[in-house]
Chains A and B, each alone.
Chain A
Amino acid sequence: MSILDMTAVELAAAIRNKEVTVMEATEAVLAQIEKSESKYHCYVTVDKEGALKQAAEVQGKIDAGELTGPLAGVPVAIKDNMCTEGLLTTCSSKILYNFIPTFSSEAVLNLQKAGAVILGKTNMDEFAMGSTTETSAYGETRNPWNPEHVPGGSSGGSAAAVAANECFYALGSDTGGSIRQPASFCGVVGLKPTYGTVSRYGLIAYGSSLDQIGPLCKDVTDCATIMEVIASHDTKDSTSVERNDTDFTSALVDDVKGMRIGIPRDYFGEGLDSEVKDAVLKAAQVLKDKGAIVEEFDLSLVEYAIPTYYTIAAAEASSNLERFDGIKYGYRTEEYEGLHNMYKKSRSEGFGAEVKRRIMLGSFVLSSGYYDAYYLKALRVKALIKKAFDEAFAKYDVILGPVAPTTAPKLGESLSDPIKMYLGDIYTISINLAGLPGLSIPCGVDTKGLPIGLQLIGDCFNEKKLIQTAYAYEKARGVFGRKGDK
């Protein structure tokens, strides 16, 4: 097997067994980046020099027996909204074109402690606002399955980098589907953990109450392994939860007998592409054949999830993004008269259209006179959505459905109609509103040759049930990968 075809866990084992050195793996992946980056543009920043330096250091620690973990020596890509000390962090925005953080995010530190080699920072929708990675100020990322299509978003660079073997795994962040949807579009595995499982310290916030960091990777084994490394209780993040059940790899068991799986009818109605529908239902049948109890049910309030999400996320974003004002760091306009003109021009020139749209939307729903009608009402609907899921999880271990209504659209198709783009988030965003974990795993390819994703949703803190179900499905499905290109 060539190095690039290895999963993260396989590569780490090969390194431990001295079949491959960290340097060889790093050089191989850097060569792959060199080869295909012009085609896909997965990265905003590739830190070649830093990666080679880390590779040597990590190899030294492995040889000295200091690093023995299951990811030691494996090169990783980080979404560009996570702070990395000394390494440019832009959120794919012009306003942070020169921002070099003085500290690293907790999730990145956890990876580094486990011996990760950081390759660079992946492209994304500007400030994670978008579903295609086309709103990046540094150019769009293309889908490795077909470069005329988008990779999804906002973690499109991370998903595409995994699919194009430009890294062995990547970190993404998910506020409304930003890990699961690009994972689905790029045919990789992605997990959005329960809110509070991975520290948000160092993650540049979009919607603070919804944001969560998670892995994008080649298979379910990698997914569980990465989760064990990045999940941690962090006293620097007030919303971080102390969990004693983060032994996610213990759930890598090929057995779904008696697993109660609910299929929400609401997720299979109008707007769902028939090829996606067929592939997802076929996956459900696979699980049923392996002994799972699969039945349909009605999950109410699905149609309210989108307005609720765009109200809450935009409100939080409008405040979170206030700090980007050109005063202390980042982009400042060339010419200005006085303070307010400087703010106005720096922000007008520094932010892209989608970000400005959401700042305006968020400012509106928080303004006096509208706060109760929009923001407070959205919070109440959010609570009702959580309640609907609570009721569902009283009956089911796992909820199964599609990740997105369609496979990856063509470049340029989505931005012309933002409402349509927002509607594409219908199956993913209520999971963020309810704080639940959601996993995306490839379950087929459509007639255009684009991958289809299956979404498994669990109750809070039930990632293990998702991992177990996905692992069993993956065993039955067999190896999934892009034809050619490698």
Chain B
Amino acid sequence: MAKQYETVIGLEVHVELATKTKIFCGCSTAFGGDPNTHTCPVCTGMPGSLPVLNKQVLEYAVAVGLATNCTITQYCKFDRKNYFYPDNPQNYQISQLYLPICRNGKVEIETEKGKKFVGIHEIHMEEDAGKLIHDEWDDVSLVDYNRSGVPLIEIVSEPDMRSAEEVIAYLEKLRMTIQYLGASDCKLQEGSMRADVNLSIREVGAKEFGTRTEMKNLNSFKAIARAIEGETERQIDLLESGEKVVQETRRWDDNKGESYAMRSKEDAQDYRYFPDPDLVPIVLDDAFLDEIRAKQPEFREEKMARYKEEFDIPEYDIEIITGSKHMADIFEATVALGSQPKKVSNWLMVETLRLLKEKNMDSEDIRFSPENLAKLIGLTDTKAINSSVAKEVFEVMFEQDIDPEKYVEEKGLKTVNDEGALRKTVEEVIANNPQSVEDYRNGKEKAIGFLVGQTMKAMKGKADPGMVNQLLKELL
């Protein structure tokens, strides 16, 4: 009988924190910007410059630690990780090795197999590096230090996951938690959340772990799932053919669906970590932790429970809406402005999701304001516009966050409720479409749909379809 294998996975997740300024200087963290415009002597490692910790970084790191049930290290330090590379202006990265800010946490995940806990070994704070741009034409490399010093936290899990499904559930859970905290937008594609997968296999029932590899360059949940499958197969093949798994770092190529070795343990660098003497130890008292605890938001589970209590909307809607803190915020704010929850939920679930998908956007990218959504719902409630006009207006609002009341006014999109005008149009439609009239009279109920359509077209969409229907039936 063939051997049964089990996959053992641990994750190192880097999250870029949503601070306005860098971790050790006052430079902007804004994405983009011309090369080396968000820089100063500190984040370019100029001689004589010194780092000073951004307090917001500490607050975010502690908030994430508390939300993931970690023990907060109340006497913690920064260490220098020494290695030479041009994207690293000092040739050491300020990170944490000996006394990381958070340790011994856990988060609960849910998959089809049920609920389980994934342990968090530690969370540490560190600075991001700059970006190298290789100019093949001129055969030179250029460095952009705009990213240098952008704050990151690295969340290191225990090797507690056993499948791609569990890994995705864990990442979703982290992402949701961190987004709810406002500590990061956690976008994998844009690199504000990055995951490295440590994976080994062993025979089912074995107590010892197998030799693990570390997989890098995973830019989407799908890539992560594919990489896990690919690496599991690769390692099983090696063992089955009597070879050994080599401890190494591998790079995943998602286009080819395969990975290749970057460096083995033998070439592992000695980073000569030691406490950074330019930064003083951080002492966090209980009052500081209490303050951050008090500021923790309502997390997703709590929010879902409350929605079930408060709003008469389907459970599926609740799941989708609370799946994004941003969307939940819009939902709640719109309801608070007096809109009916069911109607708000419908706009989010149908039109918003459709447009997000169409435009390949994330829920976090929604830009329309709750005020404008509430106005749009108000316009439909009073039948000032019909539903197809409402959808048109919504699309514009989704793009540009326009005020729907003004827009409808300016564009003359209000429904025509003048029965005389409408009756006149309906009469014309009947006169111009004898065939359809004939069909209807011969019992073809469907034919009336065509006539409604023709009337709406003649009215440039500004009629109440119910009223048109009624008039048609009456006149026929």
> Which residues of A are at the interface with B, using a C-beta cutoff of 8 A?
82-83, 89, 91, 96, 99, 101-103, 105, 200-205, 207-209, 235-239, 315-316, 318-319, 322-325, 327-329, 339-340, 343, 363, 366-368, 371, 375
Mark each residue of chain B from 79 to 105: 1 if its CB lies under 8 Å from any CB of chain A, else 0: 010101010011110000000000000
Which 9 pairs, one residue from A and one from B, show the smallest C-beta to C-beta distance?
A: A322-B91, A366-B272, A208-B277, A209-B277, A202-B48, A83-B48, A204-B47, A323-B90, A323-B45
Mark each residue of chain B from 403 to 425: 1 if its CB lies under 8 Å from any CB of chain A, else 0: 00000000000000000000000
- A69 CB, min distance to chain B CBs, angstroms: 25
Q: Is the CB of B49 within 8 A of A319?
A: no
Is residue B274 contacting chain A, with contact meaning CB distance below 8 A? yes
Q: Is the CB of A319 within 8 A of B47?
A: no
Is residue B190 contacting chain A, with contact meaning CB distance below 8 A? no
Q: Is the CB of A343 within 8 A of B278?
A: no
The distance in angstroms between the C-alpha atoms of A207 and B53, with both chains bound, is 20
Q: Is the CB of B48 within 8 A of A328?
A: no
Q: Is the CB of A201 within 8 A of B48?
A: yes
Q: Which of A105, A238, A316, A368 contacts B53 (CB 8 A)?
A: A238
The distance in angstroms between the C-alpha atoms of A350 and B86, with both chains bound, is 18
Q: Is the CB of B46 within 8 A of A102?
A: yes
What are 24 sample pairs from A and B whose C-beta atoms fall under 8 A apart?
A82-B48, A83-B47, A102-B41, A103-B48, A201-B48, A201-B49, A202-B49, A205-B278, A207-B277, A238-B50, A316-B274, A319-B272, A323-B47, A323-B90, A325-B84, A325-B86, A325-B91, A328-B89, A328-B143, A339-B86, A340-B84, A366-B272, A368-B272, A371-B273
Mark each residue of chain B from 47 to 61: 1 if its CB lies under 8 Å from any CB of chain A, else 0: 111111100000000
- A241 CB, min distance to chain B CBs, angstroms: 10
Q: Which residues of A contact B45 (CB under 8 A)?
A: 323, 328
Known: A103-B41, A238-B278, A322-B90. A200 touches B50 (CB 8 A): yes
Q: Which residues of B contact A366 (CB under 8 A)?
A: 82, 272-274
Known: A89-B47, A96-B47, A343-B84. A371 touches B274 (CB 8 A): yes
Q: Which residues of A contact B90 (CB under 8 A)?
A: 322-323
The distance in angstroms between the C-alpha atoms of A276 and B45, with both chains bound, is 44
The distance in angstroms between the C-alpha atoms of A375 and B46, with both chains bound, is 26
Q: Which residues of A contact B48 (CB under 8 A)?
A: 82-83, 101, 103, 105, 201-205
Q: Which residues of B contact A339 (CB under 8 A)?
A: 86
The distance in angstroms between the C-alpha atoms of A235 and B51, with both chains bound, is 10
Is residue B322 contacting chain A, with contact meaning CB distance below 8 A? no
Q: Which residues of A contact B277 (CB under 8 A)?
A: 207-209, 239, 316
The distance in angstroms between the C-alpha atoms of A105 and B41, with both chains bound, is 12
Q: Which of B53, B82, B279 contacts A322 (CB 8 A)?
A: B82
- B453 CB, min distance to chain A CBs, angstroms: 69
Known: A208-B277, A238-B52. A367 touches B272 (CB 8 A): yes
Q: Which of A89, A96, A319 contacts B82 (CB 8 A)?
A: A319
Is residue B270 contacting chain A, with contact meaning CB distance below 8 A? yes
The distance in angstroms between the C-alpha atoms of A363 and B92, with both chains bound, is 13
Most A Cβ at <10 Å: residue of B49, B90, B280? B49
Chain B residue at minimal CB-CB distance from A201: B50
Known: A322-B90, A366-B274, A371-B274. A235 touches B84 (CB 8 A): no
- A435 CB, min distance to chain B CBs, angstroms: 12
Q: Is the CB of B92 within 8 A of A315?
A: no
Mark each residue of chain B from 105 to 148: 1 if its CB lies under 8 Å from any CB of chain A, else 0: 00000000000000000000000000000000000000100000
The distance in angstroms between the C-alpha atoms of A339 and B84, with both chains bound, is 10
Is residue B345 contacting chain A, with contact meaning CB distance below 8 A? no
Is residue B44 contacting chain A, with contact meaning CB distance below 8 A? yes
The distance in angstroms between the C-alpha atoms of A316 and B80, with both chains bound, is 10
Q: Which residues of B contact A96 (CB under 8 A)?
A: 47
Q: Which residues of A contact B91 (CB under 8 A)?
A: 322-323, 325
List B253-296 residues whose CB lies under 8 Å from chain A.
270, 272-274, 277-280
Q: Is the CB of B49 within 8 A of A238?
A: no
Q: Is the CB of A322 within 8 A of B47?
A: no
The distance in angstroms between the C-alpha atoms of A220 and B92, with both chains bound, is 41
Q: Which residues of A contact B274 (CB under 8 A)?
A: 315-316, 319, 366, 371, 375
The distance in angstroms between the C-alpha atoms of A224 and B314, with both chains bound, is 77
Mark each residue of chain B from 311 to 342: 1 if its CB lies under 8 Å from any CB of chain A, else 0: 00000000000000000000000000000000
Q: Is the CB of A322 within 8 A of B86?
A: no
List B21-62 residues whose CB lies under 8 Å from chain A.
41, 44-53
Q: Which residues of B contact A203 (CB under 8 A)?
A: 48
Q: Which residues of A contact B82 (CB under 8 A)?
A: 318-319, 322, 366
- B134 CB, min distance to chain A CBs, angstroms: 11
Q: Which residues of B contact A324 (CB under 8 A)?
A: 47
The distance in angstroms between the C-alpha atoms of A101 and B41, with both chains bound, is 9
The distance in angstroms between the C-alpha atoms of A207 and B86, with both chains bound, is 23
The distance in angstroms between the C-alpha atoms of A102 and B36, with both chains bound, is 15
The distance in angstroms between the C-alpha atoms of A207 and B80, with both chains bound, is 14
Q: Which residues of B contact A101 (CB under 8 A)?
A: 46-48
Task: With A322-B84, A323-B90, A371-B272 given, name 18 new contacts (CB 8 A).
Answer: A96-B47, A101-B46, A105-B48, A201-B49, A205-B48, A207-B277, A238-B52, A238-B53, A238-B279, A318-B272, A322-B92, A325-B84, A325-B86, A328-B45, A328-B143, A329-B46, A339-B86, A371-B273
The distance in angstroms between the C-alpha atoms of A327 and B44, with both chains bound, is 11
- B424 CB, min distance to chain A CBs, angstroms: 77
Q: Is the CB of B47 within 8 A of A328?
A: no
The distance in angstroms between the C-alpha atoms of A238 and B50, with both chains bound, is 8
Q: Which residues of A contact B50 (CB under 8 A)?
A: 200-201, 236-238
The distance in angstroms between the C-alpha atoms of A91 and B47, with both chains bound, is 10
The distance in angstroms between the C-alpha atoms of A99 and B49, with both chains bound, is 14
